[in-house]
Every structure is written in C-alpha cells, then in structure tokens.
Chains A and B, each alone.
Chain A
Amino acid sequence: MIPATLRVTLIAAVICYFVIILYFLKQKALNLKYTLLWLVAGLVMGILVAVPELLVRIIHIFGIQDNMNGLFIFAIGFIIMILLSLTSIASRQNRKIRTLTQELAILDKRVRDLEENDVE
C-alpha cells in the first residue's frame, strides 16, 4: 500500500498542479489545445491518488514489484509522452515558420520589383 502521508502529499500536489494549469489558462499563457494533454495527465494522476488500489493493481499487472517504483514509472511515462508531443508541436511550427519566411521573402522581392517599376 501507499502510505497515508504520501497520499496526502500527492493529493496536495495534484491540486497545486491543477490550480497552476487553470491559472495559466485563465491568463491565456497556455493554449487550451496544447494543455489538454497536461489536463488528462493531471486527471489520471488524481484518479490514481484518490483510488490507490487501482494504482496497485495496474502496477502489478505490469509486473512492477514496488508500488513507489510504479508511481515513478508512470510519472516518467507521462513526461516522455508530453515531451514527445512538444517536439512534434515544435516541428510543426518549424515547418510553418519556414513557409512564412519563404513567402515573406518572395513578397519582399515583389514589392521591390513593383517599386522599381514605379520609379521608371
């Protein structure tokens, strides 16, 4: 079993987590689209902390011996998933920036050409 004090700490941590995310959302410092994964992660964490028997069962299904280890493995798993999604977002934005830069440069040339024609 997970010790009671640890449960209290974890519950407090999850509440803090949600407060921070919601605060950021309210401030529009986070895009809801990119925050969904964080919210889902928080929700799963909340459920597992609230119903620790579930966590213990899942951990045993995966063949992990120690409950605390299981908790860490889950946390690391979530972090890796979120990092992957961030990398994919960065790559997509990279592509968009590339297109914008190229279009901008072509427009810039067009403006120069038009100005030149005006002078003549």
Chain B
Amino acid sequence: MKQEKRVLVIIPAYNEAENIVHVVRHMMEEAPQYDYLVINDGSTDNTLDLCRGENFHYLDLPINMGIGGAVQAGYVYARKYDYDIAVQMDGDGQHDIAYLDRLLEPLINREADVVIGSRFLEKEGFQSSASRRMGIHILSALIWLTTGKHIMDVTSGYRAVNKMFIKIYSEDYPMDYPEPEAIVAAFMHLGRVKEVPVQMRARAGGISSINFKKSIYYMIKVTLAIVICRMGYGIRRGKRDDI
C-alpha cells in the first residue's frame, strides 16, 4: 500500500481516564506510522493528566463542547497541518485499530471520500442492544428516504475521510449527536460514502455518553437534524468535476 499519505487519527475523549491510555498505547504499537491526536473535551476526570503524563499528542479543549465540537477540532487541526486523511476513532476502546487499513484503503484508492466502519455488514463482534439496533435501522431508513443511499451503521463513530472532507467538516460539522447528520452532509456535498465491515467491542470501561433515558431525545433530535440538514441543501443534482 502506498504510504506517502499523511494520516491523522482523531481520538475524542470525554472523561475516558479508564480507557484512553490503553487505546492510545495500543494505537502506537499497532499503527506507529500514523499520527494521532487525542482531543480532551473538557474532561472533569484526570484524562488530561494521563495524556500529559504519558506525553501523548493531545488537544485540550478548555470547555466541554460535546463530541461534535471535539471531533471538529481534530478536523481543523488536520486541515491546518495539511493531512491527507483524517480518521475518527472513539477514545473508549470500542474501535479496533486493526481495522484502520480497511478504512483507509478506499480513500487511498480514491474509491470513496468518506469511509464508515460498519459493525452490521458482517454482523460480527459487538452488535449493540436490540433496542439500539432498531433505533439505528430507523435512522438508516430515514437517511435512505432523504438521500436515496443505503448506509447500515449510521451511528458508527469509526470513520475516515479524505482531504476534501477534512475541509468540509472543519468548516461545518454537526453538533450534539453528529454521526448520522454528518453522513447526510457528506451526501449533500456529493461525497461518495462507503461502508467497510469492522468489528466493535463493548466498552472496556466507563459509561457511554448515551444512556437509556436519553435515547428518546436522541431519536427525536437526530431525526429532526437529518430532515433539517437535508432541507438546508435543497435539491442536489450537480456533478463533481474532480472524479
């Protein structure tokens, strides 16, 4: 594989003291050829101290901005330092660095602009709870309705994007629960979105940022966000001139 592409792995971390050291060390062992950047999203635990103590590469957001703002900080950084590819990978140990090359391949071969690591393509590894899977299928159907494209794992936060989308996402990235909305935004920018199969693990430690109580709010908010995002771009029938 051609390795001249500069790749930045963005690892957003909010109160991930239990996982972050393991996640980053594992990444440094398995994929030392790639740069990484931990984004400490105003954590209230000792995530920052751990990053400092381990001498990790990290950004320290002075206030908590939520996953969207944190990931976007990574894209702004990637754009500023002229990276060719940016990967986002959760700081909680759900995403396995072993699949990184799978995510990068379609970008390096110029087959896609946005690659999503999907746990539903081969249905292996941690599949999430039944209720959550149903929610994901509903959102997936909604994205199909609004954009006409099939994406299975619309909430997966394991993604890689090329330079074109580093620029787009650094300028405008959805907030709060950004993953499904970011897919719609990608389609609206005439991006080619590809899913590749990955396996995910259940969280190694700590608690997920989306608990059961919030899931109803999540569905309503994301549904609205998708519809509004779709409306915001109007009818897109253009053709990109760079492919």
Contacts and interface: CB of A to CB of B under 8 A. Distances in A.
Interface of A: 97-98, 101-106, 108-109
Given A103-B76, A106-B77, A106-B80, A98 B60 contact: no
B72 A105 contact: no
Nearest to A99: B76
Contacts of B77: 106, 109
Chain A, interface SS category: helix
Contacts of B72: 98, 102
Which 8 residue pairs are nearest across A and B when measured between Cβ atoms?
A102-B73, A105-B59, A105-B61, A102-B76, A98-B69, A109-B59, A106-B77, A101-B61
B62 A98 contact: no
Nearest to B66: A98
Interface string B63-74: 101000100110
30 contacts: A97-B63, A98-B65, A98-B69, A98-B72, A98-B175, A101-B61, A101-B62, A101-B63, A101-B65, A101-B69, A101-B73, A102-B61, A102-B69, A102-B72, A102-B73, A102-B76, A104-B62, A105-B59, A105-B61, A105-B62, A106-B59, A106-B76, A106-B77, A106-B80, A108-B59, A108-B60, A109-B57, A109-B59, A109-B60, A109-B77
B58 interface: yes
A109 B58 contact: yes
Interface string B49-62: 00000000111111
